[in-house]
Structure 1
Amino acid sequence: MGNKRIWVERNKDGSWDAFSEDGAHIKFGHDRGQFTPGDLMRVALAGCGALSSQFAVESALGDGEGAKIVVDGKYDPETDSYVSFDEHIVVDATDPANGAKIDDEAAEKLSKRIQAHVKKGCTVAHTYEQPTPVRMDVEIRH
């Protein structure tokens, strides 16, 4: 899962492209309409929550249903780091088209299932919740 090679390359316009060895691609940078690296940290947390909760949500509401996940971060300019994240998971069970009938008891049960799935399966949250060393190697080719 986590062993796939990832790299980034700078574009002539100042933006960056991220690639994975299996063909994934995303553009990022500091310009309007681009994710910054800090944004991508929050995207990773939200995406992990989405994928981890998907089974529980689809089991309750039907195939193709999912949660909307909003992640805010508290940024500390003195340390140039995020010191905390707030993750808000919203499941819209009001759509009668999906055929699900959710009462208070079923909603509470689904909430607990989602929390359990995310706590068990979200690698990003597990990583953010512990000290994670970053090692750097610089190679100058000349």
Structure 2
Amino acid sequence: MAEQIASTTGQTKLWVERTGTRRYTGHSSRGAEVLVGSEDVPGVFTPGELLKIALAACTGMASDATLARRLGDTYDATVHVSGAADRENEVYPELTETLELDLSELDEAARERLLVTAQRAIDRACTVGRTLKAGTKVTLSFSVQ
């Protein structure tokens, strides 16, 4: 039933199923799974951590082609992301990302050009970042038996 609720036309189906107290498994119709739960449950991501990871992954993926073109397909990159929750309002008021790259082989001018180009690629193509910056309407419905 959860799979049917998550169904949208032409898109990967996504859903979570409860597996225990404050513990869920997220699924995609492409076969991926992720364990989700509260901070006190070992071996899981919290929903907020997944939000941050989605942002960091989107930043990395949006800049990937630009960086690979200049640095080669085997370049190393790590995107760190952080941001404390405002528990009174249950929001993350600020998320901070740092894209860690080794650009030591480039001169200062080439470094600056690459970083500007990478920033433009991220601003243009990172759907998660663009959504967070713009805000989005979230609609919830219930399917009950």
Q: Is TM (by shorter chain) over 0.5?
A: yes
Aligned to 1:87: 97
Q: Scaled by the length of structure 2, what TM-score is found?
A: 0.84
Any gaps of 5 or more consecutive residues in structure 2? 1-9
The whole-number CA distance in structure 2 between the counterparts of 1:27 and 1:92 is: 32
Q: Percent identity?
A: 31
User: For the Cα contact (< 8 Å) 1:54–1:67, is it kept in 2?
Assistant: no
Aligned to 2:4: none
Task: Return the match for 1:35 from 41, 45, 50.
Answer: 45
Report whether the alignment pairs 1:54 with 2:64.
yes
Aligned to 1:97: none
Aligned to 1:103: 107
Letter in 2 for 1:26: V
Aligned to 1:98: none
Task: Return the match for 2:28 from 7, 16, 20.
Answer: 20
Aligned-pair CA distance for 1:12: 4.3
Deviations 1:86-121, CA, capped at 9 Å, x for gaps = 111111234xxxxxx311111111111110110010
Q: Scaled by the length of structure 1, what TM-score is found?
A: 0.86
The whole-number CA distance in structure 2 between the counterparts of 1:40 and 1:139 is: 25
The whole-number CA distance in structure 1 between the counterparts of 2:11 and 2:121 is: 22
RMSD between aligned residues:
1.8
Count of matched residue positions in the alignment of Structure 1 and Structure 2: 134
The whole-number CA distance in structure 2 between the counterparts of 1:90 and 1:12 is: 37
SS in 2 for 1:138: coil
SS in 1 for 2:83: strand
